[in-house]
Amino acid sequence: MQLQATGTPLCPVDLPDPVPGDTEILVRVSACAVCRTDLHVVDGELPNPKLPLIPGHEIVGTVVGHGRLARRFSLGHRVGIPWLGWTCGVCAYCRSGRENLCDQAKFTGYTRDGGYAELTVADERFAFALPETYSDSEAAPLLCAGLIGYRALHMAGEARRLGIYGFGAAAHIVAQVARHQGREVYAFVRPGDTEAAAFAESLGAAWAGPSDQPGPEPLDAALIFAPEGSLVPAALKATAKGGSVICAGIHMSDIPTFPYELLWGERTVRSVANLTRRDGEAFLDIAPKAGVTSSVQIYGLAEANEALAALREGRVRGAAVLLP
């Protein structure tokens, strides 16, 4: 399913099989989760995507071919392919453990073709072995929703009372890790969305309520997954002095002006950018130990536009997953 121009539906196309480069693997796709970042790419909110483009960056599949120098995974090995597809390895960011900030980085389903397809290629150095405890469809959302959520949670430090704004794919996974770590989770959902509130409570949230109101207790930290800039001052207002507000999306609408008193008291606002391979290894190690499960809604590959529409309209509970 190919994006030929931003702002238009994906088109079904038949293409030649991709050929892996020297350090790449050829992967037969078993499942690919649908991420809000895919929406930002398709809708033209992220600049300069590769066009035409095969979206998708939460890919689970089986290795069916190797490039000349690729030896990390054997044929038949199940792998996960994430958003971060390649980095230069030599810049100051890469050399200081911050490869997620590499200016030359390439991204799966954005500047490289992704997983809304039957076959794809990936640099084997940026692919992950996956825990055997998860099926293909269950594992797919872990590769972005899980990874970015985990990086955002790490930035929250030792926060005990954790607010989560936007209870979608990332939130439903990170809430389970947070509960495993003994934190209290407060879910802030779209006003009137009682189904999302019930979903959050079913995953152990101590409270779930509308995002335009403070919770019952001051928060030590807030994670914002919804792409709404207006949630930043709302989260600051709900956060105690010394707390952090972490913006975990790759795109967000403009943050409105707000009084300095909301930031005062040594509150901080920061963003999460991409992921590192170290994040992936750490999260994929802790996920099965924490008993993390993925709630998924299954679509066929040809139904990619329907899956994107459901996500855009807030009709997905957990994560949408495409199965070729």
Report the alpha-carbon distance of residue 27 to residue 79 in Å, rounded. Answer: 8
Vertex 315: Cα angle to 313 and 321 (nearest 5): 105
- Pairing between β-strand 128-129 and β-strand 207-210 as defined by DSSP bridges: unpaired
Half-sphere exposure of 301 (CA within 13 A, CB side): 22
pLDDT by residue, tens only, the chain of 324 residues: 999 999 999 999 999 999 999 999 999 999 999 999 999 999 999 999 999 999 999 999 999 999 999 999 999 999 999 999 999 999 999 999 999 999 999 999 999 999 999 999 999 999 999 999 999 999 999 999 999 999 999 999 999 999 999 999 999 999 999 999 999 999 999 999 999 999 999 999 999 999 998 899 999 999 999 999 999 999 999 999 999 999 999 999 999 999 999 999 999 999 999 999 999 999 999 999 999 999 999 999 999 999 999 999 989 999 999 999
Domains, the chain: 24-144+275-323 (3.90.180.10), 147-271 (3.40.50.720)
What DSSP line would sit under 307-318, residue for residue?
HHHHHHTT--SS
Token pair of 301, please? 């590959």
pTM of the model: 0.94
